[in-house]
Homo-oligomer: A and B are copies of this chain.
Amino acid sequence: MIVSLFGDLAQHDGDHISGVALTEIAGLMGIRAEAIRVALHRLRKEGWVDSIREGRSSQHQLTQRGRKDTVSATPRIYARARTTTQHWNIVGASSDTGLEPVLREVTSAVELSRRFALIPSDDMDLPKDLMVFAITPKTVPHWMQSSVCPQDLADAALALEHALTQTNAMISAAGTFDPVQRAALRTLTVHRWRKIVLRIPNLPDMFFPPNWRGEACRDLTFDLLDQLPAPTLAELEASALQRR
């Protein structure tokens, strides 16, 4: 959740968020200050976050590595339309080798079986002993849609659609929010959407089950974010101090 917050509001070099602001935002989510301290400790140990003490307060920021990972995920998380790679290859490994080495390298690969997978056709530097055929999909049966979009992902999308629909209605009714409230609501939204969107393969439409609600979630996510403009870090800090 903290990484989602930094990704949403403070992913640039030099951006930092105070402990005070973090505690206020987390408080709105029902997370206690103690839990935030534990989470920050773990994120520091894992190399995601740097913290600087300033007297009785502290400032937190993404590490260089944390920023790099966050920046690289941003285009997918914040894309207002699904990005579809039109040209795919089916690749095959021998029964001895299996596909594990390829799946480790090509993050956009979609595994079909232990020996076969789909990968975007612009992926270079494949192992020499890999079967590679360019494909033009003709029939994508139901079982394959379910394997590309597994049931838990489809269920998560359906659940998020319901939650976002309700939240959108409540937010429209409630009127305006201060910067800390907006930060908290944005973070909650981005955090749940992120868990879904990063699992959606860039495959053409015919690979998705007819009841796939991921694109409805995308639209609702941006409806919501558009109603809750991202505060600047200065606005956020001022709002946090005001709330104390």
Give the B-binding residues of A (Cβ under 8 A): 89-90, 92, 94-96, 112-113, 115-116, 126, 128-144
Contact = CB atoms under 8 A, between A and B. Distances in A.
B89 A138 contact: yes
Shortest beta-carbon contacts, A-B, top 6: A94-B143, A133-B135, A132-B139, A134-B136, A132-B138, A129-B141
A122 to B, nearest CB: 13
A86 to B, nearest CB: 14
State the oligomeric state as a number of copies. 2
Given A94-B141, A131-B144, 15 more contacts: A90-B133, A90-B135, A92-B116, A96-B143, A113-B115, A128-B141, A130-B139, A130-B141, A131-B141, A132-B137, A132-B139, A133-B136, A133-B138, A134-B135, A134-B136
A46 to B, nearest CB: 36
A119 B135 CA distance: 14
Contacts of A116: 92, 112-113, 115-116
Nearest to A144: B131
B129 A142 contact: yes
A132 to B, nearest CB: 4
A140 B135 CA distance: 14
A229 B129 CA distance: 46
Contacts of A94: 141, 143-144
A133 B129 contact: no
A131 B117 CA distance: 13
Contacts of A133: 90, 133, 135-138
A141 B129 CA distance: 5
A94 B143 CA distance: 6
Contacts of A135: 90, 133-136
A88 to B, nearest CB: 9
17 contacts: A90-B90, A90-B135, A92-B113, A94-B143, A94-B144, A113-B116, A129-B141, A129-B143, A130-B141, A131-B140, A132-B137, A132-B139, A133-B133, A134-B136, A134-B138, A135-B135, A136-B136
Contacts of A143: 94, 96, 129
Contacts of A90: 90, 133, 135
Contacts of A96: 143
